[in-house]
Amino acid sequence: MSDTAPPGPALRLRRFLKDWPLVPLIVLLLALVAVLQILQPGIVNERWLANMVKFAIPLALLAGCQTLCMLTGGIDLSVSAVATMSAFVVATQGPGTGPAMTIAIALAPALLIGLANGIGAGVFRVHPLIMTLGTSLIGLGVLQVYQRTVIATGTKVPEGLAWLGTALIGGFPAALLLFIPVAALILFVQTRTGFGRALYAVGDNERAARLSGIVYWKVMIVLYLTSSLLAGVTGLLYVGLIKAPSLSLVDPLVLPSVAAAVVGGTSIFGGRGGYAGTIIGALILTVLTTLLTIVQMPEGARRICYGLIVLGVTAAYLSFLLGWKMGGWGVPATRGWGPLVAGVVGNRGRGGGGGRGPAPGGGPRGPPPGAPAGARGAPGAGGGPPRPPRPGGPPPGGGGGGAGGRGGGGGGAVTPRIVWKSVSPTPAHRHGGHGLPERTGTHRRPGSGGDRDW
């Protein structure tokens, strides 16, 4: 009969929130809508909901770029420049070319910047923040030069993009025709494909991902190409919504896109998160913007309130849902969202020697008393000598057991081993620093001198 007391209400609530991390986000969204309705009765209606979703879709798409990049521990600050370039190019090329060719020309700069970001971050190991910031500045400079060459042609937003950005179909925004397939594709890639698992693995433990066979630079190139292409599509949709192309069209959405991903539960350190939470985060920030506009807050106070709410939601999420401790980074989330997590653990031998007792032809039982783990064991009479050190290799281990012993022990070197574990249904990671999975159990067979998994 167990003496363990049943979990209390607080613990059960905490476990529920860990298992269903989207629930508090939905509750927060509904609470903001309720406050909005109280401050201005009658504002929440079908028309307001359609407009809210219409303006939340571009933010959710840009936040999707950030979510994918943040799963690997990176970020993409070039999304606003890419979206602005695509929007401006499609508006200036529209009068002289067909719609399909116009869209293809507009997305070409997005692919070039994405390729540069992927090569810089994946091949040359430039930090994604620095790399994407640099390509963003270069892209905006090229856009200013391009503006001077087309200033006489004027701008015209294609009618198809204007309809997609502003029209309503049965009370629902027409932009949902684009957003729903794109969001479904992102969720499918994130949860059901090897590329999505590679993103989580790289963000959780890059070294383990490399040892498992993931080619890091290929993952990064495909990732930033996808992010830039998604940002370019967002720019085409946004220019159809605003109908006024400019050189700073999408700049106001850069930091909100990062905030939407963070509020939605994506860790900036990589390895955790999901696009479903990011979508709800974009809706929360859109409703929050409407709320601050209705109460007529000054711009300075509005930014202060906006930042405090974002930080508060993020801190609450990390503290109560992911189970982080304030004492340091050594205890990461108790339950992640990624389908797979890779980690590296080690086996440490205890020095080789004979078995339980000396036998004819057997050597000593192992290293002398008080010797540290991994010390060299003496060879048995019929055993081989201690393993000599290799240049650049691990420290030497013990020698093999004698012929009469019950099995000699292995060496004391730490042998890296990759452990893939599903973290959705399993408990907390507790091994090592941030991002390492829980270490598997070990068992030492008597006289074996080494550890093995069980």
For the stretch 120-157, pLDDT in tens is: 999 999 999 999 999 999 999 999 999 988 877 778 88
**Lowest model confidence (mean pLDDT) among 62-71, 144-153, 225-234, 356-365:** 356-365
**Using the 8-state DSSP alphabet, how is residue 319 labeled?**
I
Strands of 152-261 (E only): list them: 168-169, 172-173
Give me 252's structure tokens: 């106001």
Q: Which amino acid, one-letter code, is at 81?
A: A
Beta-ladder partners of 344: 418
Average pLDDT for 24-41:
92
d(CA 419, CA 72): 19
Average pLDDT for 14-23:
79
The half-sphere exposure of 129 on its side-chain side, counting CA atoms within 13 A, is: 5
**pLDDT at residue 407 greater than cutoff 50:** no
Give me 107's structure tokens: 């997305």
Q: Read off the pLDDT of residues 437-452 as tens digits, 9 standing for 90 and up.
A: 444 444 444 444 444 3
To the nearest 10°, report the CA torsion of 373, 375, 378, 382.
70
377 confidence band (pLDDT: 50, 70, 90): very low
**pLDDT at residue 12 greater than cutoff 70:** yes
To the nearest 10°, report the CA torsion of 74, 342, 313, 49.
80
Average pLDDT for 71-77:
94
Identify the helix (H) or strand (E) that includes residue 321.
none
**pLDDT at residue 236 greater than cutoff 60:** yes
pLDDT at site 14: 72
pLDDT at site 299: 73
Among the listed residues 308, 242, 237, 198, the one whose alpha carbon sits nearest the alpha carbon of residue 62: 237
> Do the Cβ atoms of 366 and 409 come closer than 8 Å?
yes
Q: What is the DSSP string of 408-429?
A: ------EEEEEEEE--SSS---
**Lowest model confidence (mean pLDDT) among 97-111, 197-211, 236-250, 292-306:** 292-306
Give me 229's structure tokens: 């292409």
Q: Buried b vs exposed e over 259-279: b needs ≥16 C-beta within 10 Å?
A: bbbbbbbbbbebbbbbbbbbb
355 confidence band (pLDDT: 50, 70, 90): very low
For helices 254-263 and 46-71, the axis angle rounded to 10 degrees is 80
pTM above 0.75, yes or no: no
pLDDT at site 346: 39
